[in-house]
């Protein structure tokens, strides 16, 4: 009698595969990076990669976090998340970072592609040959400054070397994107994309396409012309985007109008069922501040052209929401709420002023 013996092999979904061979052209060093594979997806050791790049490394074991410092940039890697942070800019990978004993493993192709497109354009990874070629080259378009002028916007792209005008081209498409393309350039996309927008520029996007750099600017309105030239001292590509002077005047007037102090809302605190604090002989805060509010209002009305709006002109109670509604309904530029404090020390006198704004204090 024959018996069939069935042997079950249970494989872990995670298997160690052959190491990645690495050659660093800058140091002339050869090294290896340990790998891990899950569902045909290759992961590489973040610590080994840092060593291959001659990178300074910081580790927080409790938080399962590694920080690599490469060419002056900071790359944060955290376990069990698909995000990495380069300087302060997040990038997402399709797979999460895997946590292994004493190391983090990142998705090889996705992680290396992000590094290549942002801070290491000389990085080349061949998955089939299991080979990583590292050539730490320097970006030659490194930064950006934007300045608003009366008749347009000036953009300064900082470069490490002068570029021939034959290698530079530009155009504006129908969707108000202005494109500048520089052949033979390497653009620091993280630095450029993080530039501060001003003037007609609403958004900045840069990309490295092979050996060509492209920087795109989303324009907030139409421009009547544009030009650029390569400055030699310092090395900069200077772009001028011209806007109609009439549009700029309209915009300036609009901004001035928004900040013109033409309406003041005076708010006498408390009122009605809410008497506020009380003096020694029964004087109520609500009555004192109503009188002060009316006096201030008369001074403004008699001596200025400012429109005065009162939240209350008699002894009535108003909830806080209604007071702010009155201010918004009348497009108030300044809201002044008047209150009075009580104190057992009768010699105390003076004023307290609290400013409530985007930079407000906790007391306000």
Name the least confident of 70-74, 235-239, 299-303, 309-313. Answer: 70-74
Q: Answer yes or no: is pLDDT of 113 > 90.
A: yes
pLDDT digits (tens, 9 = 90+) for 155-164: 999 999 999 9
pLDDT digits (tens, 9 = 90+) for 334-359: 999 999 988 888 888 888 888 776 54
* pLDDT the model gives residue 135: 87
Q: Answer yes or no: is pLDDT of 277 > 50.
A: yes
What is the per-residue burial (b if ≥16 Cβ within 10 Å, else e) of 233-271? eebbbebbbbbeeebbeeeeeeeeeeeeeebbbbbbbbb
More confident position, 17 or 260: 260
* Pick from 268, 254, 263: nearest CA to 323: 268
* pLDDT the model gives residue 12: 44
- Tell me the mean pLDDT in the region 159-179: 94
| Residues contacting 186, CB < 8 A, separation 6+ | 121, 137, 138, 139, 140, 141, 208, 213
Q: Answer yes or no: is pLDDT of 243 > 60.
A: yes
Residue 125's DSSP bridge partners are 132
Q: Answer yes or no: is pLDDT of 1 > 70.
A: no
* pLDDT the model gives residue 357: 60
CATH 3.30.457.10 for domain 14-134, yes or no, is: yes
Q: pLDDT-based confidence at 291, cuts 50/70/90?
A: very high
Q: Residue 312 — φ and ψ, nearest 5°?
A: -150, 145
Residue positions counted in the chain: 364
* pLDDT the model gives residue 5: 41
Among the CATH numbers 3.40.50.2300, 2.60.40.790, 3.30.930.10, 3.40.50.300, which is that of 141-248?
2.60.40.790
* pLDDT the model gives residue 185: 93
* pLDDT the model gives residue 151: 84
- Tell me the mean pLDDT in the region 203-218: 94
Domain extents in the chain: 14-134, 141-248, 263-338
pLDDT digits (tens, 9 = 90+) for 259-273: 788 899 999 999 999
CATH of domain 263-338: 3.40.630.40
Supply 285's token pair.
Answer: 């805060």
Rounded-to-integer distance, Cα 159 and Cα 139, Å:
8
- Tell me the mean pLDDT in the region 316-342: 90
Q: pLDDT-based confidence at 361, cuts 50/70/90?
A: very low
Q: Answer yes or no: is pLDDT of 311 > 50.
A: yes
More confident position, 75 or 250: 75
pLDDT digits (tens, 9 = 90+) for 48-81: 999 999 889 999 999 999 999 988 889 999 999 9
Rounded-to-integer distance, Cα 219 and Cα 207, Å:
18
- Tell me the mean pLDDT in the region 166-170: 95
Rounded-to-integer distance, Cα 312 and Cα 216, Å:
53
Q: pLDDT-based confidence at 210, cuts 50/70/90?
A: confident
Supply 277's token pair.
Answer: 């604090």
* pLDDT the model gives residue 26: 85
């Amino acid at each position: 009698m024959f018996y069939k013996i069935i042997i079950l092999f249970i494989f872990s979904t995670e298997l160690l595969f052959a190491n990645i061979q690495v050659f660093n052209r800058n140091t002339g060093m050869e090294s290896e990076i340990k790998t891990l594979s899950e569902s045909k997806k290759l992961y590489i050791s973040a610590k080994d990669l840092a060593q291959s790049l001659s990178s300074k490394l910081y580790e927080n074991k409790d938080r399962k976090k590694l920080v690599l410092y490469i060419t002056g940039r900071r790359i944060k890697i955290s376990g069990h998340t698909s995000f990495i942070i380069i300087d302060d800019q997040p990038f997402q990978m399709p797979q999460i970072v895997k946590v292994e004993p004493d190391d983090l493993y990142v998705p090889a192709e996705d992680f290396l592609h992000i590094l290549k497109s942002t801070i290491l354009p000389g990085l080349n990874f061949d998955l089939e040959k299991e080979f990583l070629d590292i050539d730490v080259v320097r970006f030659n378009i490194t930064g950006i400054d934007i300045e608003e002028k009366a008749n347009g916007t000036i953009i300064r792209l900082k470069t490490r070397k002068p570029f021939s005008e034959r290698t530079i081209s530009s155009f504006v498409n129908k969707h108000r994107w202005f494109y500048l393309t520089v052949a033979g350039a390497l653009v620091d996309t993280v630095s450029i994309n993080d530039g501060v927008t001003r003037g007609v520029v609403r958004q900045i996007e840069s990309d490295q396409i092979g050996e060509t750099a492209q920087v795109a600017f989303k324009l907030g309105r139409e421009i009547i012309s544009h030009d650029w030239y390569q400055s030699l001292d310092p090395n900069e590509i200077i772009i001028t985007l011209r806007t109609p002077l009439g549009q700029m005047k309209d915009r300036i007037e609009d901004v001035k109008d928004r900040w013109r102090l033409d309406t003041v809302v005076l708010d006498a605190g408390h009122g009605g069922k809410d008497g506020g604090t009380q003096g020694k002989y029964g004087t109520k805060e609500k009555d004192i501040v109503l009188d002060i509010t009316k006096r201030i209002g008369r001074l403004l009305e008699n001596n200025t052209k400012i429109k005065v709006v009162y939240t209350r002109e008699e002894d009535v109670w108003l909830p806080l929401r209604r007071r702010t509604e009155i201010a918004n309904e009348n497009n108030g530029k300044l809201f002044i709420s008047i209150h009075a404090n009580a104190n057992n020390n009768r010699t105390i006198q003076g004023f307290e002023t609290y400013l409530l704004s985007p930079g407000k204090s906790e007391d306000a």
